[in-house]
Amino acid sequence: MKTAKPAATADQATSAHAAHAAHAHEPAQADSQEAALTLAEEYCRERGEKLTPIRRKVLELLLNSGRATKAYSLLDEMRQIHPGSAPPTVYRALDFLLSAGLVHRIESINAFTVCHDLTQCQHGILVVCQQCGSVTELHQPKLRQALVAQIQDAGYRLASDEIELKGLCAACQAAEAVAGTGAATPVAAAK
């Protein structure tokens, strides 16, 4: 399970979302990231598709971020690595990752996040912090099936694979509580 947790430092210095990153991931996760990328590569190969270097890089940036990230932030990061990166290149890579089911589009904050399950056995239910964009994908197949069944009974079908709940993460709740006490702690006006 991927749960963004608060950490003291952000090692990505410049991108917009890193400016208020309270959940930067530790280097210890480098191994699991590499494993995730290898898994994604194998998954694409089995489907007769290719995780090209640019697609892989975009996926890696999302894994690094550990939270929902906006397309323009990904483009910014891409340009730090490959200065000539054009928006369509990054957007096409995102489209591929979406259609392959490797990433989710988070409608409520117009951002993207890596699927918790890169083997695509089962999508979960996404809980999205509306403040900082951290995302937890609840792996509750029965709950999801029951929900989908109810939706179908009501005569609807879901418009996408994503089932998204709006939330406020523990770190943001804590920040809000501190702000509420009147303590002089600036709360990042997350956008």
Binding positions for Fe cation are: 123
Interatomic CA distance for residues 71 and 81, integer angstroms: 16
Least distance in Å: CB of 188 to Zn ion? 10
Binders of Zn ion in range 14-73 (CB under 5 A):
none
DSSP string, 43-87: HHHHTT----HHHHHHHHHHHHH-S-B-HHHHHHHHHHHSTT--H
Interatomic CA distance for residues 72 and 17, integer angstroms: 10
The conformation of residue 104, written as its DSSP 8-state character, comes to E
Least distance in Å: CB of 120 to Zn ion? 8
Binders of Zn ion in range 74-93 (CB under 5 A):
none
Question: Quick one: 78 or 114, whose CB is closer to Zn ion?
Answer: 114
Question: Quick one: 86 or 188, whose CB is closer to Zn ion?
Answer: 188
Question: Quick one: 78 or 109, whose CB is closer to Zn ion?
Answer: 109
Least distance in Å: CB of 169 to Zn ion? 3
Interatomic CA distance for residues 78 and 21, integer angstroms: 18
Interatomic CA distance for residues 151 and 157, integer angstroms: 6
Q: Is 129 in the site for Zn ion (CB under 5 A)?
A: yes
Binders of Zn ion in range 160-189 (CB under 5 A):
169, 172
The residues that bridge with 128 in the sheet, in sequence order, are: 135, 166
Question: Quick one: 89 or 117, whose CB is closer to Zn ion?
Answer: 117
User: Footprint of Zn ion on this chain (CB under 5 A)?
Assistant: 115, 123, 129, 131-132, 134, 169, 172
